[in-house]
Amino acid sequence: MRLLPALTLLLAATIAQGEEAKVSALESNNCLPPAGENLRGDPVNGKVLHKEHCAACHGPDGKAEVVVMHMDEAPHDQSDAEYMATLNDAFLYLAICKGGEGIGKSYVMSPWGDYFSHKEITDMIAWIRTFPQS
């Protein structure tokens, strides 16, 4: 049967491709997005990731209208278009990748660079940018 070796090779290539796609942003680029690259990915996927990992503190719509007992200060309102216009996408990338301390903010926001891939971070940036339509 010649089909079995071909299927085995296809399966191995698919697994390798999936593992490559999940290389963390910290591992792949040390949390430094490539200069000049568009950092806005797929907002639909970003919404899913944000809901699962960020909404507990930032709120599902970015308004940070949540009570988190261990926070020294509440996160900024990400639906405030004027405030968000002061933050470029590279800053948001670093904030997600390196966490609060990495950008001079609260240590409570964990660094996600060893968990999320570059693509996942850009997807979240795209979703966050839908809050104030910035």
Segment 69-89 mean pLDDT: 87
| Cα–Cα separations (whole angstroms), residue 82 to 39, 79, 120 | 20, 9, 25
Question: How far is Cα 78 from Cα 29, in angstroms, rounded to an integer?
Answer: 26
Residue range 26-44, pLDDT digits in tens: 999 999 988 889 999 999 9
Residue 14 backbone phi and psi in degrees, to 5: -65, -45
Lowest mean pLDDT: which of 12-16, 72-76, 119-123? 12-16
- Answer whether residue 21 shows pLDDT above 80: no
Structural domains of the chain in order of their starting residue, each with its CATH number: 23-128 (1.10.760)
- Answer whether residue 119 shows pLDDT above 90: yes
Q: Which residue is it, tokens 């942003």?
A: 25
Residue whose C-alpha is closest to residue 116's, from 55, 29, 44: 29
Q: How much is the pLDDT for 76?
A: 87
Q: Is the model more confident about 133 or about 113?
A: 113
DSSP state of 103: T
